[in-house]
Amino acid sequence: MYWGFAFDDARCDSGPLSGRPAQFNAPGGQVQRACETDSAIFHDRFAGALQDIMRRFRASAPPTQVSRFAHAHRAWLSGVAWQIGNQAAGRMPGLDDFLVMRLLSSGGEPTFALLELATGARVPDRDLHRPAVRALTEMAILVAALDNDAHSLHKELTGGQADQNVYTVLMQELECPLQDAVRAATGLRDRVLLRFIELHDRVRPTAGQDLATYLQGLRYGIRGNNEWGLRVPRCLSCGQWPDEMDDTLLTWADEPSDTRPGPVEGAPAIAWWWDADLG
């Protein structure tokens, strides 16, 4: 996780390559190869550190789990490249495009691919690739990604840059001020989380032990990401380090802000999460 954050800060979100896709695609490809291949030699401090991490994965998990992580890693980098491309072209994506991009660029894929490596669960192929399980994974990633956008909102606003996040996207999409975009984003996030809970509760009872561990990991991921994001200086960047034991920062709504069922409007690329025959 820390490797990912460091790489993200130095090479993706900010740093000299953040608006230069022609420059990012090549080192992005090299780092991905470093993730796959121990014999590769790249003159990049991040590549070497990633190879060290991957060696540990290979020493402790079967090739299937390591391959899944590598695929997830590529998915992440492809989203980063997409984001950098938008930035370079000065293009603010529409909502649907943004959600697909954010699913990837948020780094949720490799984060959740760590679940098997961390817990020792070995989810069978036929379980992991089930559309319902895939939908649950994507929904958990999106909820966490939108929560991250919330955590970073203050920092991004004070930074003065109109970066691509769910708020700037919705302000453009709905032609509305920030306050309305915040409400719309929270509603969207809540609807996805509600669908996650609904589908989870349908899938979990018949899940085998390994799949159950994985699904529980997705749930912990959503919650843990919030607890972490509300404290971490990386997102806050307001010069003040919250007390680790200070719980007052964590405020939870009593109920979802939007309980409308069915697919979110204007987001066909994720509409299948609400398919009736999932699960």
Q: Name the residues that contact a second copy, by CB under 8 A.
A: 21-26, 28-30, 32-33, 37-41, 62-64, 66-67, 71, 74-75, 77-79, 81-82, 84-86, 88-89, 91, 93, 96-97, 100-101, 104, 125-126, 129-131, 134, 263, 268-272, 275
Q: Rounded to an integer, what distance in angstroms lies between the CA atom of residue 218 and that of residue 106?
A: 15
In the complex, least distance from residue 35 CB atom to a second copy, rounded to whole angstroms: 12
H helices of 120-237, where?
Answer: 125-128, 131-159, 166-174, 178-203, 209-229, 233-236
CA distances from 105 to 77, 100, 253 (A): 7, 9, 27
In the complex, least distance from residue 138 CB atom to a second copy, rounded to whole angstroms: 9
In the complex, least distance from residue 254 CB atom to a second copy, rounded to whole angstroms: 32
Residue with Cβ nearer a second copy (104 or 121) = 104
Q: Rounded to an integer, what distance in angstroms lies between the CA atom of residue 209 and that of residue 63?
A: 20
In the complex, least distance from residue 69 CB atom to a second copy, rounded to whole angstroms: 11
Q: Rounded to an integer, what distance in angstroms lies between the CA atom of residue 209 and that of residue 176?
A: 46
In the complex, least distance from residue 129 CB atom to a second copy, rounded to whole angstroms: 4
Residue with Cβ nearer a second copy (134 or 234) = 134
- Going by C-alpha positions, the residue among 13, 95, 2 that lies closest to residue 53 is 2
In the complex, least distance from residue 120 CB atom to a second copy, rounded to whole angstroms: 16
- Going by C-alpha positions, the residue among 248, 245, 199, 247 that lies closest to residue 219 is 199
In the complex, least distance from residue 99 CB atom to a second copy, rounded to whole angstroms: 10
Ordered DSSP codes for 215-266: HHHHHHHHHHHHHHHTT-HHHH-SS----TT--TT----SS-S----SPPTT
In the complex, least distance from residue 23 CB atom to a second copy, rounded to whole angstroms: 6
Residue with Cβ nearer a second copy (239 or 261) = 261
Q: Rounded to an integer, what distance in angstroms lies between the CA atom of residue 110 and that of residue 21?
A: 21
Q: Rounded to an integer, what distance in angstroms lies between the CA atom of residue 219 and that of residue 225?
A: 10
CA count, 13 A, side-chain hemisphere, 234: 15
Q: Give me the torsion for CA of 155, 222, 254, 279, rounded to 10°.
A: 140
